[in-house]
Amino acid sequence: MERITRQAYVLPPQNAAEIVLKHGNERSSTHPYSASIGALSPTLDATFFALSDPKRRGILERLGRGPATLSQLAEPSGLTLNGIKKHVGILELAGLVETEKVGRVRECRLGSATTLGQAGEWIEAHRRAWEGRFDRFERFVEGAR
């Protein structure tokens, strides 16, 4: 039996909603992130993808305290300037961060709350659905006693 391992490779920000799967048998293929089980909107896909990385969540936490330059974001995270630019680019693509060239530096700030609002609505709808399922299951278990 052939053992297949998968590693996800992040594509450039313009393709953030795609994942390249590289299999252990050296074959590779590109699959859209949204599958037939129910695709999310491209905005939600990009938002959840952006929030999936702890470094990017850390950037958002830092920007919650106020605007910062790329250098200011890179310093405490231990990332290179190029590394932080890639993370900020993914956050910007998702609408979570806005950047602006100010003189010789690029300043970053939190984007509009609309993107997070859409993600929150999606999470809330699924939370309500699961709570309903658990309530029905509880009634079933209580009725079986």
pLDDT digits (tens, 9 = 90+) for 1-27: 444 443 343 444 444 444 322 323 333
Which pLDDT does position 31 carry in this prediction? 42
Tell me the whole-structure pTM to 2 decimals.
Answer: 0.64
> Does residue 1 fall inside a structural domain?
no
> Does residue 137 fall inside a structural domain?
yes
Owning domain of residue 45: 6-144
Residue 39: pLDDT band by 50, 70, 90 thresholds? Answer: low
Which pLDDT does position 95 carry in this prediction? 92
> How many domains, the chain?
1
Q: Which whole number is the average pLDDT over 115-124? A: 86
String of b and e for 56-72 (b: at least 16 CB within 10 Å)? beebbebbeeeebbbee
Which pLDDT does position 38 carry in this prediction? 54
> Does residue 51 fall inside a structural domain?
yes
In the block, tokens 């293929």 appear at 29
In the predicted structure, residue 50 carries a pLDDT above the cut 80: yes
Here the CATH number for the domain that contains residue 77 is 1.10.10.10
CB contact set of 48 (below 8 Å; sequence gap of 6+): 40, 119
> Does residue 63 fall inside a structural domain?
yes
pLDDT digits (tens, 9 = 90+) for 69-116: 999 999 888 899 999 999 999 999 999 999 999 899 999 999 987 778
> Does residue 40 fall inside a structural domain?
yes
Instruction: Tell me which residue of 109, 107, 111, 110 sits closest to 70, measured CA to CA.
Output: 107
Query: Per 3-state DSSP, what percentage of the chain is helix, strand, and coil (rounded to 5)?
Result: 50, 20, 30
Q: Helix axis angle, 70-77 relative to 54-63, nearest 10°?
A: 130
> Does residue 97 fall inside a structural domain?
yes
> Does residue 16 fall inside a structural domain?
yes
